[in-house]
């Protein structure tokens, strides 16, 4: 069957995209999220920060 050049290029591109392992994709997404969260000027709601409670066993933290 004869295919056009565009079809061959498209199928080659899709094959390259699908060859990337899912773990690599998840890692890249997580890196992007961490980078975006570190931007102080980003738009939208900010993630909540966990409150730091002073430890009862650390006398310097209590003062």
pLDDT tens-digit profile of 37-49? 888 888 887 777 7
Please state, in angstroms and rounded to a whole number, the distance separating the CA atoms of residues 63 and 54.
9
Q: Residue-wise pLDDT tens for the chain (63 aa)? A: 788 999 999 999 999 999 999 999 999 999 999 998 888 888 887 777 778 887 777 766 555
Domain boundaries, the chain: 1-39
Cα 33 off chain centre by: 4
Please state, in angstroms and rounded to a whole number, the distance separating the CA atoms of residues 17 and 10.
11
Residue 61 and residue 55 in contact, taking contact as beta carbons nearer than 8 Å: yes
What pTM did the predictor assign?
A: 0.52
Residue 44 and residue 37 in contact, taking contact as beta carbons nearer than 8 Å: no
User: Using the 8-state DSSP alphabet, how is residue 56 labeled?
Assistant: T
């Amino acid at each position: 069957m004869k295919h056009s050049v565009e079809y061959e290029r498209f199928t080659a591109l899709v094959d390259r995209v699908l060859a990337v392992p899912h773990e690599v994709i998840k890692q890249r997404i997580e890196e992007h999220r961490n980078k975006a969260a570190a931007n102080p000027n980003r738009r939208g709601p900010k993630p909540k920060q966990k409150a730091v409670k002073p430890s009862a066993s650390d006398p310097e933290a209590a003062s």
